[in-house]
A = this chain, B = another copy of it.
Amino acid sequence: MALTNPMPMGPWKITVYDQEYFQGRRMEFTACCQNIMECGMENVRSLKVECGAWVGYEHSSFCGQQFVLEKGDYPRFEAYSGSNSYRIERMISFRPICCAHHKDSRMTIYEMENMTGRQFELCDDYPSLQAMGWMNKEVGSMRVQSGAFVCYQYPGYRGHQYIMECDCHGGEFKCYREFGSHAQTPQIQSIRRIQH
C-alpha cells in the first residue's frame, strides 16, 4: 500500500476526513497522495490545510478537475470545489504546491498559442483581466517564470481552476490543452498568485 510518495519534507501539512465537518476517519499528510482510496479512505469529505498550499484533484494520479487549497478549514465539498457548474464531489489525490513559497511570482500570458500575439506580464492578483486592459476573455498560452498562479475561467476567481507552476512543464503552457486535463476551452478571466 503506497501511502505517500517520497518527497523532501517541507512546511506542508493537510488533514483529511472521510465525513463532513471534520468527522469520521482522519489522516494527516505532509507530502502528496496519489490515491486516497489506497489509504483505505473512500473519499475526502472535509479537510484542514494546516501548512502550505496544496492542489486537490477529482481523480487519482492528479487528474481531472483541480482546485487550490490554502491554509484554513474546508468543512464540506462546497468549500473547496470550484463553482456551481461542476459538481465535483470527489477529491481522490492531492499534492503540495512546492514553488508557492517563491518570494516573487511572475508569469506572462499570451494572446495566441505557442507564446505568440499580444502579451502581458503578471506579478500581482487580477480578479478581472479585462479590467487590467486584457482585451479578450481567453488566454492562448502562458509562461510561469517564478512561483505559482491559479487561473480561473470567470472573473472574480470563479469557475474552472488551472494551477500553473514554474516547476511544471518548465513553466510553459503552450496551448489550453496543457492548462490541465480538464481544460476544454482557453477561457481565462481572472488570475492570482498562490503563496504560502
Q: Contact between A133 and B83 (Cβ–Cβ < 8 Å)?
A: no
Q: Contact between A70 and B5 (Cβ–Cβ < 8 Å)?
A: no
Q: Contact between B5 and A131 (Cβ–Cβ < 8 Å)?
A: yes
C-alpha gap A103/B68 in the complex (Å)? 29
Q: Which residues of B contact A67 (CB under 8 A)?
A: 156
* Chain A contact residue count (CB 8 A cutoff): 50
Taking CB atoms and an 8 Å cut-off, the chain A residues in 97-131 that contact chain B are 118-120, 125, 127-131
Given known contacts A68-B156, A133-B5, A78 and B73 CB-to-CB distance under 8 angstroms = no
C-alpha gap A27/B161 in the complex (Å)? 30
Taking CB atoms and an 8 Å cut-off, the chain A residues in 61-89 that contact chain B are 67-74, 76-81, 83-85, 87
Q: Does A40 contact B (CB under 8 A)?
A: no
Given known contacts A87-B84, A125-B192, A196-B131, A156 and B69 CB-to-CB distance under 8 angstroms = yes
The residue on B at minimum CB distance from A77 is B84
Q: Does A59 contact B (CB under 8 A)?
A: no
Q: Does A96 contact B (CB under 8 A)?
A: no
Q: Contact between B155 and A5 (Cβ–Cβ < 8 Å)?
A: no
C-alpha gap A59/B158 in the complex (Å)? 21
Question: Closest Cβ of chain B: how far from A158's Cβ, in Å?
Answer: 6
Given known contacts A84-B81, A192-B127, A70 and B1 CB-to-CB distance under 8 angstroms = no
Q: Which residues of B contact A73 (CB under 8 A)?
A: 137, 154-155, 189
Q: Which residues of B contact A6 (CB under 8 A)?
A: 133
C-alpha gap A118/B3 in the complex (Å)? 10
Residue from the list B68, B133, B158 in contact with A3, Cβ < 8 A: B133
Q: Does A147 contact B (CB under 8 A)?
A: no
Residue numbers of A with Cβ under 8 A of B are: 1, 3-6, 49, 67-74, 76-81, 83-85, 87, 118-120, 125, 127-134, 137, 153-159, 189-190, 192, 194-196
